[in-house]
Chains A and B, each alone.
Chain A
Amino acid sequence: MNDWQPSATLDTLRRRAALLARVRAFFTERDVLEVETPILGHAGSTDVHLASLSCQARTPAGAETLWLQTSPEFHMKRLLAAGAGPVFQIARSFRDGEVGRRHNIEFSMLEWYRPGWSLDQLIEETQQLIRTLLPDDPGPTQRHRYRALFARELSIDPFVVELDALRRLASATGGLDMSTAERDDCLDLLMSLVIEPTLGRDGIDVVLDYPASQAALARRHRDPEDGAWVASRFEVYLQGLELANGYDELTDAQEQRARFAEDNRARAQAGLPEVDVDQRLLAALEAGMPEGSGVALGLDRLIQLALGKSRIDEVMAFATPRC
């Protein structure tokens, strides 16, 4: 049996350690506090497209199901509500079933929050951090609206295209039957198969103004140009790889509660298990979380690009198949 050996070379692990030190220096210089929040929590993510792992624990409350966190978001938001100010974390996160060239079930998420900051300010800081870790200049940072990318690559307006036409396009593009798929699933397919591979080829590409239905935990706002509702959210791409996902954070407890409930309804419809809603997060939002922006960045992927590796397991000591 030869797979006791690390999936990354020792040289890669040394360079990874140096990059981690540089991330910490980046935030220390900017007076952002490093925090560590639990990997196991009483609540999981209700996101329909995230599968949480859970385990049985014996606690003072008896036998309980605890969830391995899909990101440190909820705990970090509770810190924000408690008045922690700007915080960052390099958190081990877990997403069941996600294994591949650019995915590993257990991975390192670099997540940080900037109370009082606009999405614009956070985009600027995110691209600075990315540049700090890369050995060479990746080219200019460019911003693209979600809608404009679909127009450029597929000649459709993703917000108004007729559902049947969208389903036909998705079916033909992927070579699978999408004739009963939801609108967002069709858009996700086209984004993954057609648009993503074109992004980040000449620089850092930032995608903005996602459909309002894809807001997740971001606020929504009206597009100043045409009045359509869009999600106040961005994603950062480099070399076709999605690196980061940022939000103008939702702070309204009532709206958050409604989105959790909506997620669980969608889960039930899709035959997925319901996930316990994070009541403590809702209570923290009710107590008052400062407005601001936050971003989650796939640190292993950024290290992968910084070290010129083609697979995520090449930058991990022991990737899932060898863990």
Chain B
Amino acid sequence: MANYSTNEFKGGLKVMLDGDPCAIVENEYVKPGKGQAFNRVKLRNLMTGRVWERTFKSGDSLESADVMDLDMEYLYTDGDMWHFMKTDGSFEQYAVEKKALGDSDKWLKEQVVYTITLWNDNAISVTPPNFIELEVVETDPGLKGDTAQGGSKPATLSSGAVVRVPLFINQGEVLKIDTRKGEYVSRA
């Protein structure tokens, strides 16, 4: 496996640290006026999502992590595992554990394409598309004519997520949602 030296560190690079695959978020070169240089590095642990801040002596290196992001379509869950299929025409399927699914479980919809992060060919995380269209399965009845700003109410979506929506939204409507913020964008 290749090694990356601190001067090759840049945002997005995947490296191994303390046995876990990490993505470099930020790399800052620091050096006193005269003397030893260091790199202050922020890394996101891809297993836990936590961000670590570590210092390295300039010139030190880390092993690269065999991590890749693949597009896969969500198929179904059997209760234990969540099944996804590659979109490259190979029909190859991957089973994802609850732990790797994390918070993305509330944005799951069949036939939607997700980004699956694989480490050594095992799925370690699932990222939903930035915007997704979901149906309202439960909310208080809409207020007719109230399309003005202000005022919102909770709505439960078909995927299980609960988001704040404007008062005029009714059960059965399909909405465009920003999954990064968990916010209503518009009617679909």
Contact = CB atoms under 8 A, between A and B. Distances in A.
Contacts of A184: 35-36
Given A185-B36, A188-B36, A176 B31 contact: no
A232 interface: no
B53 interface: yes
A193 B35 contact: no
B36 A49 contact: yes
A214 B35 CA distance: 8
B34 interface: yes
A147 B146 CA distance: 68
Contact of B7 (A99, A174, A216): A99
Interface in A166-190: 173-176, 184-185, 187-189
Interface in A87-102: 97-102
A98 B55 contact: no
A242 interface: yes
A192 B30 contact: yes
A175 B31 contact: no
Contact of B57 (A98, A103, A175, A176): A176
Contacts of A98: 29, 31, 37
Secondary structure of the B contact surface, majority rule? strand
B38 A193 contact: yes
Interface string B23-56: 0000111111111111010000000000011111
B58 interface: yes
A193 B34 contact: no
B55 A189 contact: yes
A157 interface: no
Nearest to B5: A97
Secondary structure of the A contact surface, majority rule? mixed
Contacts of B52: 175
B29 A100 contact: yes
Contacts, number: 69
B35 A49 contact: yes
Nearest to A218: B34
Contacts of A192: 30-32, 38
A187 B34 CA distance: 11
A245 interface: yes
A185 B7 CA distance: 19
Contacts of A193: 30, 38, 40, 55
A286 to B, nearest CB: 25
A291 interface: no
Contacts of B59: 97
Contact of A245 (B34, B53, B57): B34
A189 B7 contact: no
A185 B55 contact: no
B129 to A, nearest CB: 26
Contacts of B35: 49, 184-185, 187-188, 191, 214
B9 to A, nearest CB: 10
A192 B27 CA distance: 15
A214 B38 contact: no
A176 B56 contact: yes
B178 to A, nearest CB: 27
A43 to B, nearest CB: 18
Given A98-B37, A189-B38, A193-B40, A175 B29 contact: no
A184 B27 CA distance: 23
A276 interface: no
Given A49-B35, A184-B35, A214-B34, A176 B29 contact: no
21 contacts: A47-B34, A97-B37, A97-B59, A98-B29, A100-B30, A102-B29, A103-B29, A173-B55, A174-B38, A175-B54, A175-B55, A176-B56, A185-B36, A185-B57, A187-B35, A188-B32, A188-B36, A191-B32, A196-B32, A214-B35, A245-B34
The 3 closest A-B pairs by CB, nearest first: A100-B29, A174-B55, A188-B35
Interface of A: 47, 49, 97-103, 173-176, 184-185, 187-189, 191-193, 196, 214, 216, 235, 242, 245
